Amino acid sequence: MEKYLHLLSRGDKIGLTLIRLSIAIVFMWIGLLKFVPYEADSITPFVANSPLMSFFYEHPEDYKQYLTHEGEYKPEARAWQTANNIYGFSNGLGVVEVIIALLVLANPVNRWLGLLGGL
């Protein structure tokens, strides 16, 4: 009985570890997807319409005519997206998200890194 009570008393630590692992998996997954063109294409409207991020694109006001749907390939749209730094921004965002995942995973090794990833 004492063994089970001891295990239950550690439930909060097990729960926090599982939450950290879940958050890291989600950030890693989403971050790695940012390196795939269809994911980069899908965040274009959010970045182009953002007052804080639209400066990353060369011509954010023209994005609507060059939108592609998932799995669709239009060479002229891909050329415009490449010229307007859509994929560069998406890759940068992917790197940031993967770093956040790694920092969250680093919590057992270094609490300060885990805290930095959680911010």
Question: How confident is the prediction along the chain (119 residues), in pLDDT tens digits per residue?
Answer: 778 877 777 777 888 889 999 999 999 999 999 998 888 888 888 888 888 888 888 878 887 888 887 777 888 888 888 888 888 899 999 999 999 999 999 988 888 888 888 88
Burial 36-75 (b: 16+ CB within 10 A, else e): eeebbbbbbeebbeeeeeeebbeebeebeebebeeeeeee
This prediction has a pTM of 0.80
